[in-house]
Chain A
Amino acid sequence: MSGIIKSSIARKVSMALSALFLLIFLLQHFLINFSSVLSADMFNELSHFMGTNPLIQFVMQPILIFGVVFHFVMGFILEVRNKSARNVKYVKYNGNANSSWMSRNMIYSGIVILAFLGLHFYDFWFPEIAHKYVHALPEDPNRYFGELVVKFRDPVRVGLYCLAFVFLALHLLHGFSSAFQSVGFNNKYTPAVQKIGKAYAILIPLGFIFIALFHYFNSL
């Protein structure tokens, strides 16, 4: 059992499990965000629930933060180990002949997503934590939609968000089906998983872009 902690397969499986968890989180995040397009009241209601429910705040949120941090830290560890496994580089390397750009550059798309998370936390998560736990302001269940709309008035921010979602799509185009392969799921359902993965990787980031643009153009 002790060997599993240090093994390359365990590292890959743990990376994949954290990825699968983040895929589920991303879907629910998208669905809640999308409600802001449909109805301000619905968005406020869902956000208020997510922001005040003790199970989500004190159980799910720490698990999510652990999942995000673990995925990034493990990603960097794997990258460093993988780079050191080829100490002399090829003079000519034709990666496009046998693999996709996305699959070879997960670290770079991941770094862009990490930078985006910094901006996203600065925009929403830190003010939210400060509002609730630092300043301990009284809870207003109708504040969320207004806070969202204000952020998406800035075209630079909207541009950065859209760019980050493109990189998220590139990351997911490989990451979704790769996570299944890493946990050992490769069977007659694999072509279906790959198709669902492609649809997820394109539609979810595209949906996030739509939400950002929707609020930007509504604010003009």
Chain B
Amino acid sequence: MNLTLQIWRQKNADAKGAMETYKVENISPDSSFLEMLDILNDQLINEGKEPVAFDHDCREGICGMCSLQINGEPHGPGRAITTCQLHMRKFKDGDTIYIEPFRAKAFPVIKDLVVDRSAFDRIQHAGGYISVNTSGNTQDANAIPVEKEKADKAFDAATCIGCGACVAACKNASAMLFTSAKVSQFALLPQGRIEATERVLNMVKQMDLEGFGNCTNTGACEIECPKGISLENIARMNREYLKASVK
């Protein structure tokens, strides 16, 4: 496959970025999107040019590091996949592909396609945990009975890899799906109920402080989420928040 790539290049966080055009040739339809970018970078290095900076780590859809807005969609075309799981067969020979960083005020660009998603870490630090005494006397979690439906929903919420596709897809750059998944995974379990009130108040407060937008229920986040996190979690977080606020 021969492709034209329109890629956002930005020297550093303070520099003004712009789209630049690159050509790549003889790309196998079986290569992954990130492998295609590796090939481009080899080409750029051989030409003595600066390679394109992009995030990646596990390359098997687990770590949530790879980001990229591809042709106007986070993680590109295809559903329930991360960019590392996207293959070039999804594109046609001769296509022009637009590659941009995830855009949000709360996700500033560090360089080229790499954005700082530490806002998610700070939301998580604000309450996305349970306080457990790890002195060696911790009770086995499996000893506490949990309703099957709730356990399944908590597990589904816990599959969020914090990649930020929800923010990138949302027209308001809202982080409600991420935050609600982190709130829900604990709110649904007995171990998480103990700190449920402070958790939801603190995590929502931090989410707002980071400068994410408000959810307008477009549902784009759920569609683009590589792990299929449901909007049901946002409704649950809204309920949890209202309940906590009047306590």
Contact = CB atoms under 8 A, between A and B. Distances in A.
B135 to A, nearest CB: 34
B241 A7 contact: yes
A99 B219 contact: yes
Interface in A165-220: 174, 177-178, 181-186
B112 interface: no
Interface in A81-99: 81-82, 84-95, 97-99
Interface string B232-247: 1011111101100110
A103 interface: yes
Contacts of B28: none
Nearest to A78: B214
A132 interface: no
A121 B207 CA distance: 40
Given A8-B204, A98-B219, A103-B217, A91 B98 contact: yes
Instruction: Provide the main secondary structure of the chain A interface.
Output: helix
Nearest to A105: B171
Interface string B210-240: 0111111111100110000001101111110
The contact size tier of chain B is 35 or more
B205 interface: yes
Given A12-B215, A81-B213, A94-B71, A104 B171 contact: yes
B223 A90 contact: no
Nearest to B247: A1
A90 B72 contact: yes
Contacts of A89: 103
Interface residues of A, number: 42
Contacts of A182: 215, 217, 238
A24 to B, nearest CB: 20
B159 interface: no
B169 A98 contact: yes
B85 interface: no
Contacts of B216: 12, 78, 82, 103, 106, 178
Interface of A: 1, 3-4, 6-13, 78, 81-82, 84-95, 97-100, 103-104, 106, 174, 177-178, 181-186
23 contacts: A1-B245, A3-B245, A4-B245, A7-B208, A7-B245, A8-B174, A8-B215, A9-B241, A78-B214, A81-B214, A82-B173, A82-B213, A91-B98, A92-B71, A98-B218, A103-B216, A104-B171, A178-B217, A181-B217, A181-B235, A184-B235, A184-B236, A186-B232
Given A95-B220, A104-B171, A184-B239, 6 more contacts: A82-B216, A85-B173, A103-B219, A174-B217, A181-B231, A184-B242
Interface of B: 6, 8, 19, 69, 71-73, 77, 98, 100, 103-106, 109, 169, 171-174, 176, 201, 204-205, 207-208, 211-220, 223-224, 231-232, 234-239, 241-242, 245-246
